[in-house]
Chains A and B, each alone.
Chain A
Amino acid sequence: MTTTDETRSIPIVDDLTSEIPPVIDEEFTDESDEVEAFRPSKAGWFARGLVWAVLAWLVFAYPVNFFSPFNVGVSDADTASLAVIFAIVGLSLNVLLGYAGQISLGHQAFVGIGAFTSAYIVTDLKLSFWLAIAIAATFGAVQAAALGAISLRVSGLYFALVTLAYGTFAEEFLFGITALTGGEGGKPAPRPVAFADEYRYYFLCLGFLALVLWLDWRLTRTKAGRGLMALRENPRVASSYGINVKAYIMLAFVVSGLFAGIAGSLLAHHDEVIVGSRFNFQLALIFVLMTVVGGLRDRVGVVIGSVFFALLGSGKLVTMLNLGGFFEGVLGLPTEFVALVVGPILLLLTITKYPGGIGQQVAPIRVWLSGRRFDRHAGAVQEVEVNDVRA
């Protein structure tokens, strides 16, 4: 083994490139830069504007019977609020499942904790709804963080089992503590006076959905979201980029818990009496279904998927589309079970054939609406990737 004790100095850099013929590099040329940025024509702008207007009407006017030839009753507005609440849950689960790649089969517990916290604070502590929802969100986050800490020690698929056990534990044990949750009779959860009316409650829920969408949007556009995306796909490269993988996984759990707590509170006051048995395993599965079928990591898809499953589960969708006769008569399938049959079929289709879910199908329209050229292949996805866990 040779060693040297000369001082090691920096040699003068020789410029050798002049002696070697230039190499033609194999470049990958992306030609889109050479084309001018697309701008829609006048007709294109008009068409887009029209669709935006219809969508706005659908969200803001139709469910509350404002400026609408249809007669939307109170119970329909009630379902609309539920759909919005489901959308918030979907976004919550999407943070965990879609952005961070963590499986949660007990998400109904996250929502339930928020629900009972909120109900307790308003009913037993007699405090304001706004305080209640804030604390519900916090409790949701804390409980999610506890699970997050566990996920750091227990890998992928085994963590799925933990969330499964946790969900059952919450449903039967936590939500069975009569003093806190009112037992079989449930816990009353009165609405804030200003929003007691069905139509107004719908707008309250929409307001919170807008808040959650804003936070989710900023999450994905800033360092936290990028950190999650990197660590989900390749934790080694992510830590090499300077991302503290464990800390960001915890962040994902906390954000997911926050959103779920908000949804839980809204759900409790939507039902006005919240019962523990509402948070059963079937609900957990529906949450996973609607998020995966909606399309992981696609905000718009997840919202649509959640709304779809909320409407389907409550039977409203079948009624709206006048398919009750078809299902009941031709297929012998009562309306209340349609969701249970259609849901899993959609899930299996999504996983095997359409991995991007509803989000992928809708992506061309979404891209078009934002002023770009209509591209049939926008948002193409190869696989429903949650993560690459090998355990």
Chain B
Amino acid sequence: MIKTITVLFFVMLILQSCSSVKEYEKEKINDPDMKLTARTAERYETSFQVYREAAAGANGGKSGGGCGCN
């Protein structure tokens, strides 16, 4: 696991060092549909998926709290 994380870390460093898009060039990147997060209205779907599936986390949803036992 540590090896994987280390590799990922160096890949990230390489990626960020070779990319520089200027602010005025970010019209497309700043489009609301390009956001790197779940949509606001997606929260209830995430919620039921957390309840109905055993795997939670890394999905922008709450990682604990709430019972979800139904």
Say whether A and B bind each other: no
A-binding residues in B (CB < 8 A): none
